[in-house]
């Protein structure tokens, strides 16, 4: 007997997979469930093909937004319950800032990876909090990580145009949730010129967070890491990173 949608969902949660279980909370088929996977395949039924298509769209949106939510479709109330692995942060540049960023990312529940083609610098002993240290160019690194998905964040910290541009060309053409690059405003202007010359548009470059991080007045590597991680979390949650004293709405939202 094949596992029920609930059983498959529980297995995804146990193995740190990604997926969404959609349950009819109100409607003719109350209690019906549909499991939706990242590749669009499904298990179970909600009793109506049209409703299932809509539910699958909700599931795809929310499993990558990484939040569970109730949605109404006419008189039918659906609850979309999502499960997902810890988010990945890929850091290009085996520098001191990267070590501090790995530590802060790990503390925040993320899986940080460090990438640099220079083997002398890209050593696991220098980045004890990294999930993995990859020696290689960006194309090799992304292949090794299984590609770039909609939940991945990418931070480019090298100050080396050859590596910076190679990473950004791939990142900006991907569905990555966040792409940021370190450097002064002058360095950013030169980088922008290079990327425009390679065929990127102003709209493509709008999603690049550069200079990377929030304006915290950071001076030390630890403070710089905090600035970068703060921006990544803010964008992931759909916030602008301003002061809570000036914010409206709910404060310090806690996931159920």
User: Tens digits of per-residue pLDDT, 174-232?
Assistant: 999 999 999 888 888 999 999 999 999 999 999 999 899 999 888 898 999 999 999 99
Q: Which pLDDT score is estimated for 238?
A: 81
Q: Which pLDDT score is estimated for 183?
A: 85
Mean residue pLDDT of the chain comes to: 91
Q: Which domains does the chain have, with CATH numbers?
A: 5-83 (no CATH), 88-236 (3.40.50.720)
- Alpha carbons 154 and 90: distance in angstroms, whole number: 5
- Answer whether 174's CB lies under 8 Å from 141's CB: no
- Alpha carbons 195 and 168: distance in angstroms, whole number: 9
Q: C-alpha angle 179/201/97, rounded to 5°?
A: 25
Going by pLDDT thresholds of 50, 70 and 90, the confidence category of residue 1 is very low
- Answer whether 175's CB lies under 8 Å from 150's CB: yes
Helix axes 96-107 and 221-236, enclosed angle (nearest 10):
50
Helix axes 185-197 and 161-171, enclosed angle (nearest 10):
60
User: φ, ψ for residue 55 (rounded to 5)?
Assistant: -65, -40
User: Tens digits of per-residue pLDDT, 105-147?
Assistant: 999 999 999 999 999 999 999 999 999 999 999 999 999 999 9
Going by pLDDT thresholds of 50, 70 and 90, the confidence category of residue 246 is low
Q: Which pLDDT score is estimated for 218?
A: 86
- Alpha carbons 254 and 256: distance in angstroms, whole number: 6
Q: Which pLDDT score is estimated for 118?
A: 92
């Amino acid at each position: 007997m094949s596992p029920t949608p609930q059983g498959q969902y529980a297995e995804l949660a146990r193995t740190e997979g990604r997926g969404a279980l959609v349950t009819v909370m109100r409607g003719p088929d109350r209690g019906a469930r549909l499991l939706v996977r990242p590749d669009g395949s499904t298990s179970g039924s909600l009793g109506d093909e049209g409703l299932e298509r809509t539910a699958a769209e909700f599931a795809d949106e929310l499993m990558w937004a990484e939040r569970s939510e109730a949605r109404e479709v006419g008189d039918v109330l659906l609850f979309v319950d999502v499960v997902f692995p810890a988010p990945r942060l890929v850091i290009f540049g085996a520098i001191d800032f990267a070590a501090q960023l790995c530590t802060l990312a790990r503390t925040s529940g993320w899986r940080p990876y460090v990438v640099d083609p220079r083997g002398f610098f890209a050593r696991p002993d220098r980045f004890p909090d990294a999930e993995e240290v990859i020696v290689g160019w960006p194309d090799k690194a992304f292949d090794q990580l299984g590609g770039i998905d909609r939940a991945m964040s990418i931070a480019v910290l090298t100050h080396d145009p050859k590596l910076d541009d190679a990473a950004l060309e791939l990142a900006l053409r991907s569905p990555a949730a966040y792409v940021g690059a370190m450097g002064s405003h002058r360095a950013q202007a030169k980088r922008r010129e290079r990327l425009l010359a390679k065929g990127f548009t102003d709209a493509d470059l709008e999603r690049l967070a550069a200079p990377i991080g929030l304006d915290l007045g950071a001076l030390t590597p630890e403070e710089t890491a905090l600035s970068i991680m703060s921006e990544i979390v803010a964008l992931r949650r759909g916030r602008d990173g301003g002061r809570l004293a000036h914010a409206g709405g709910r404060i310090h939202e806690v996931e159920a």
